[in-house]
Chains A and B, each alone.
Chain A
Amino acid sequence: MNDLFTNLYNKVVGFFHKVENEEENSKEIACNRLRVVLMQDRTNLTPELLDKMRSELIDLLSKYLEMDKDALELNLEQDGDQMALALSIPVIRAKDEAEIEAAIKAQEAEKAKEDAEKTSEDDDDDDFETDEGDDENSDEDEDSETDNADDEITEGSQSDNEDNEEDTEASDDSENEDSDNKVEEDSEDETSDNEDKKKAKNKQNKK
Chain B
Amino acid sequence: MSGRVIVITSGKGGVGKTTTNANIGTALAKAGKKVVMIDTDLGLRNLDLLLGLENRIVYTIVDVVEKRCKLKQALVKDKKNPNLCLLAAAQTRDKTAVTEEQLKDICERLQKDFDFILVDCPAGIEQGFQNAVAGASEAIVVTTPEMSAIRDADRIIGLLEAKEEIKSYHLLLNRVRPKLIKSNDMMSVDEVVDILSAELIGIIPEDTGIITSTNKGEPIVNDEKSLAGQAYMNVAKRIMGEEVPFLNLEEDNSFMGKVKSFFSHLVGKEKK
Contacts and interface: CB of A to CB of B under 8 A. Distances in A.
Interface of A: 9, 12-13, 15-16, 22-23, 26-27, 29-30, 33, 36-37, 40-41, 46-47, 137, 140-141, 144-148, 152, 155-156, 159, 162-163, 167, 171, 174-175, 178-179, 182
B263 A23 contact: no
A171 B54 contact: no
Contact of B270 (A9, A26, A175): A9
Contact of B49 (A37, A144, A162, A179): A37
B7 interface: no
A29 to B, nearest CB: 5
A201 to B, nearest CB: 22
Contacts of A167: 100
Contacts, number: 81
B61 to A, nearest CB: 11
A152 B94 contact: yes
B217 A33 contact: yes
B99 A171 contact: yes
29 contacts: A12-B266, A13-B267, A26-B211, A27-B215, A29-B215, A29-B216, A30-B215, A30-B216, A33-B49, A33-B52, A41-B91, A46-B58, A137-B58, A141-B92, A144-B62, A144-B91, A145-B92, A146-B92, A147-B43, A147-B92, A152-B94, A155-B96, A162-B96, A167-B100, A174-B99, A175-B99, A178-B96, A179-B66, A182-B66
A178 B214 contact: no
Chain B contact residues: over half helix, strand or loop, or mixed?
Answer: helix
Given A26-B216, A29-B215, A47 B270 contact: no
Contact of B55 (A47, A144, A152): A47
A144 B90 contact: yes
Nearest to B212: A26
A15 B260 CA distance: 11
Contacts of A137: 58
A36 B54 contact: yes
B92 A144 contact: yes
Q: Which 7 pairs of residues, A with B, have the shortest CB-CB distance?
A: A30-B215, A144-B92, A159-B96, A26-B215, A171-B101, A26-B212, A145-B92
Interface residues of B, number: 34
B10 to A, nearest CB: 22
A137 to B, nearest CB: 7
A33 B56 CA distance: 13
A17 B178 CA distance: 26
Nearest to B213: A26
Given A16-B263, A36-B55, A41-B91, A156 B96 contact: yes
Contacts of A182: 66
A167 B99 CA distance: 9
B179 interface: no
B63 interface: yes
A158 to B, nearest CB: 8
B93 interface: yes
B97 interface: yes
Given A9-B266, A37-B49, A144-B91, 18 more contacts: A23-B211, A23-B212, A26-B212, A26-B216, A29-B217, A30-B214, A30-B216, A33-B215, A33-B217, A46-B58, A141-B92, A144-B62, A146-B92, A147-B93, A148-B92, A171-B99, A178-B66, A179-B66
